[in-house]
Structure 1
Amino acid sequence: MAKNLYGPGVRMGNWNEDVYLEEERMRDFLAKRDEGQLLIQKNRRLKENLLRPMQLSVSEDGYIHYGDKVMLVNPDHPEVEADLFLGGDLSLCMTPDEIKAYLSDELEVPCGLSAAQTKIPVGRNTFTILCAAGEVIGQVVRYGQNFRLGIAGGFEGRMFYLSSDHRTLMKSSKRSWLQEVYLTDEDSYLNCWQAAFPDPQLRLEYEGFPIPANAKILINHCHTNRGLVAHRHLFLSTYFGKEVEVAAHTYLDSHRVEKPKNHWMLVTGNPRKNAPTVLDLPKPPAEGTRALEQVAETPGSSTTPGAHACSHPL
């Protein structure tokens, strides 16, 4: 009767070669781990840089200056053209390619952009107002004046510029197929932007006036004259989750006025320590509310309509 002569201790085939290959793989793994070259280590470093906490500039005079660190925020507004959209204040964010982000700890250019529901200044959403043509750091930025928007992404010694160019068959935004907005490290005229007053009837009057901080403005691309826009109804699956598309296109209503999707705010830091940005400050009461509060605080006063009316004797 035949017996099974093979057991766990029996080695068959090229067992010696397999042992050496396994030892070589282990030595290679340990060497990459010690040098920090494993994919999980690269991925962790990239995420730490992009999510590194940043400090926004505090505007002492209420205006934007060259060299200020700000967040670009699209204010909350209802999207009447779509049933499903992303609400809240959306900030412009650096969004690397999801597959490349898992393979390297460096940012490849051109790098994409998106808008996300985040109010905390981090490496991926903190921009620096840069000079475009001989301006001085600390000088006030004015309506109609060229400026550049740079972002470091939490990396040291690197700067990426917000850029755009005309749409082509090979180059356009992912969802809307409109003019693409991207980040590049090349310094050119494609990096230049201008701010405009939202009301077209007062736009010429405000030309040359300082740009106020934390106020609604239009950001237009100088080369193509297209406005920066956040498409709240066009979702993107990014490295950080579900966000929405950002492109360069000007949307006008029936009165030839730019729609709220083209409105942006240059958000500065909060001088107080309880909140990172000015958006988190409590809103002051309206003028009518303050007037009623002052009347209520007056001794013997009443807020009832007609309480102070004169009564005539019968």
Structure 2
Amino acid sequence: MSQDAIKQYLEKKESGELTFQKGDLLKQNILQQVKLSGTKDGMLHFGDVVMLMNIGGENRKRTAVGINADINRLTKFPSLGIQAPCGVSAGSDVQPLTRTVFIITSVDDSPEGSTLCFDQPFALKTTSGFASGLYLKSDLQSFQKCAKKSRLQEVFLDENDCFLSWWKIVHFDPLERLEYEGQPVPADMKVLIVHCKTNQALAVLGDQVLWTTYGREYEVTAHTFLDSHKVEKDNNHWILCTSDPTAMDL
């Protein structure tokens, strides 16, 4: 190794710019434990810190949506954090971590602490600080903008609240939807999370594997999967966890 190469290596090491150093820095921050909100009345509220857990299915275990950031998404300016836009994926590590928790955020001036209702629009936002307070978004599928593996409608994280970041909760049973419309959403219950602009339901794809910084995970898209009875499949079944999901009996 030449003197110039050694000097460059030492300079990078000193400033923490080596690949393994960046990887360690990313994991130290994004895998920090986070406390979920819990619930006193059994309902979801604006401001709640939750996990989005898919209940699992035939070809996959239960998974949680998480920030799929590698070292290329790591930024140190103006402060240490994740750079937008950023992808998401679903992993089998269902612990509440910086990468796997979201804040239920109002888009219609509902006060923090008020109850979230079925079919009411809301946003899902990562925590502030290292996770940068990014919004979970989707948009109409196009040739240029779609999920990498399945080519279905992309789900991603980006700055600023807008119509692309609006979602709503729908009762998982089609026969019960009209009855529950406008009613408070129970916490830790199986539901659909539907994108307001495109009317596609959040989904995890067990047959589309992503090899991420965090291991083997699955692609997340906005796509409604229907069975022969026109009922949404378990790809679209989610629980907004307000308590430790590993303790749930599903």
Distance of 1:26 and 1:152 partners within structure 2: 39
Deviation readout 1:152-200 (Å, 9 max, x if unpaired): 38617x2110000001111111111111000001321100000000111
1:1-314 → structure 2 map (5 Å cutoff): 22=3, 26=6, 28-78=8-58, 85=59, 87-96=60-69, 98=70, 100=72, 106-152=81-127, 155=130, 158-269=132-243, 277-281=244-248
Deviation readout 1:48-68 (Å, 9 max, x if unpaired): 111111111110111111111
Distance 1:102 1:72, change over 3 A: closer
* Helix, strand or coil at the partner of 2:147: coil
Q: How many residues align?
A: 247
Distance of 2:91 and 2:111 partners within structure 1: 32
Quick check: which has more Rg, 1 or 2?
Answer: 1
Give the C-alpha shift of residue 102 in structure 1: 8.3
Task: Give TM-score scaled by structure 1 length.
Answer: 0.73
2:200 maps to a residue whose letter is R
Distance of 1:178 and 1:139 partners within structure 2: 34
In structure 2, the residue matched to 1:293 is none
- Structure with the bigger RCO (C-alpha within 8 Å, sep 6+) is 2
Give the C-alpha shift of residue 232 in structure 1: 0.9
Give the conservation status (yes or no) of the 8 Å contact 1:161–1:183. Answer: yes
Give the conservation status (yes or no) of the 8 Å contact 2:75–2:82. Answer: no
Distance of 1:43 and 1:93 partners within structure 2: 17
Deviation readout 1:13-39 (Å, 9 max, x if unpaired): xxxxx9xx72x6555544544443443
Distance 1:99 1:123, change over 3 A: closer
* Helix, strand or coil at the partner of 2:22: helix
2:121 maps to a residue whose letter is N
1:43 maps to a residue whose letter is G
Distance of 1:255 and 1:74 partners within structure 2: 21
Give the C-alpha shift of residue 108 in structure 1: 2.9
1:91 maps to a residue whose letter is A
Give the C-alpha shift of residue 239 in structure 1: 1.4
Give the conservation status (yes or no) of the 8 Å contact 1:114–1:243. Answer: yes
The percent of aligned pairs where both chains have the same amino acid is 37
Distance 1:279 1:140, change over 3 A: farther
Structure 2 residues without counterparts, runs of 5 or longer: none
Give the C-alpha shift of residue 233 in structure 1: 1.4
* Helix, strand or coil at the partner of 1:247: strand
